[in-house]
């Protein structure tokens, strides 16, 4: 998600894929915040750039806030565990996710990334 948005804005860095490595499974399979949400929030910061001006920072924070609100409205939560219904911090939860009969990646994870990408792209375009 982060990489896709950065590509849209011609932002390249060898650090970006490494930064995003641990987002999956809700921050390293803990079931916490959905990695797509984290990636989108980071993308907002990367595209908008750091500012020493409080008003600019507030505007960027407002975009992140609006992203969260819209994502949560569409997906129902920003929690990986709630989205997937799995506890990915356990072997059983990870096995269920990887089970070929499980459609969780297709029905939850991929749509979450798609929603996050669409929302963050719209917000960045509207606030450029």
User: Would you say residue 75 has pLDDT above 70?
Assistant: yes
51 vs 104, more confident: 104
Percentage of the chain lying above the pLDDT 70 cut: 98
- What phi and psi, each to the nearest 5 degrees, are found at residue 89? -85, -5
Question: How many domains would you assign to the chain?
Answer: 1
3 state DSSP class of 53? coil
Q: What is the mean pLDDT of residues 50-64?
A: 90
For tokens 């011609």, the residue is 10
pLDDT, residue 100, reads 63
Q: Could you give the residue ranges of the DSSP H alpha helices within the chain?
A: 2-8, 15-19, 24-27, 35-48, 54-75, 80-84, 91-98, 104, 110-126
In percent, how much of the chain has pLDDT > 90? 68
Instruction: Determine the structural domain holding residue 108 and report its residue range.
Output: 2-126
Confidence band (pLDDT; 50, 70, 90) for 34?
very high
Of 99 and 2, the one with more pLDDT: 2
Give the angle 54-77-59 at the CA atoms, nearest 5°: 15
- For the stretch 52-56, contacts whose Cβ atoms lie closer than 8 Å and that sit 24 or more positions apart, written own/partner, are none
């Amino acid at each position: 998600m982060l990489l896709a948005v950065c590509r849209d804005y011609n932002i390249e860095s060898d650090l970006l894929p490494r930064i995003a490595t641990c987002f999956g499974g809700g921050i390293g399979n803990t079931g916490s915040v959905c990695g797509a949400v984290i990636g989108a929030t980071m993308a907002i910061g990367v595209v908008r750039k750091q500012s020493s001006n409080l008003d600019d920072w507030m505007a960027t924070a407002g975009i992140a806030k609006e992203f969260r609100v819209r994502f949560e409205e569409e997906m129902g939560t920003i929690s990986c565990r709630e989205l997937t219904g799995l506890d990915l911090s356990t072997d059983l939860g990870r096995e269920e996710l990887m089970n070929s009969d499980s459609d969780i990646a297709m029905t939850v994870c991929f749509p979450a990334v798609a929603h996050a990408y669409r929302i963050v792209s719209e917000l960045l375009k509207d606030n450029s």
